[in-house]
Amino acid sequence: MARPVAHRGLHSVHAPENTLAAFDAAIEAGLPIELDVQLTADDKMVVHHDTDLARLSDRPERIRELTVEQLRDIRIAGTDQHPPTLTETLDFIDGRVPVLVEIKAGDHRYLRAAATFSVLGDYSGPLAVQSFDPFIVGWFYRNAPEVVRGQLAGRLADVRSMSWGTRLLLQNLAFTTVSRPHYVGYEFGFTTKRRSWLIRRKWPLLLWTITTRRDMDRALTLGDNVIFEGFDPSG
Residues 6+ apart with CB under 8 A from 107: 39, 64
- Close Cβ partners of 133 (under 8 Å, ≥ 6 residues apart): 103, 105, 109
pLDDT of residue 38: 98
Rounded distance between C-alpha atoms, residue 213 and residue 187, angstroms? 16
* DSSP classification of residue 85: B
| Contact in structure between 119 and 111 (CB atoms under 8 Å) | no
What pLDDT sits at residue 31? 98
pLDDT of the residue at 234: 87
State the pLDDT at residue 112.
Answer: 98
**How much is the pLDDT for 163?**
87
pLDDT recorded at residue 120: 95
Per-residue model confidence as pLDDT tens for the chain (235 residues): 999 999 999 999 999 999 999 999 999 999 999 999 999 999 999 999 999 999 999 899 999 999 999 999 999 999 999 999 999 999 999 999 999 999 999 999 999 999 999 999 889 999 999 999 999 999 999 999 999 999 999 998 777 778 889 999 999 999 999 999 999 999 999 999 999 999 999 999 999 999 999 999 999 999 999 999 999 998 7
The DSSP 8-state label assigned to residue 183 in this structure reads E
CA distances from 71 to 55, 65, 93, 172, 226 (A): 15, 10, 20, 37, 31
Beta bridge partners of 36: 102
pLDDT score of 122 = 83
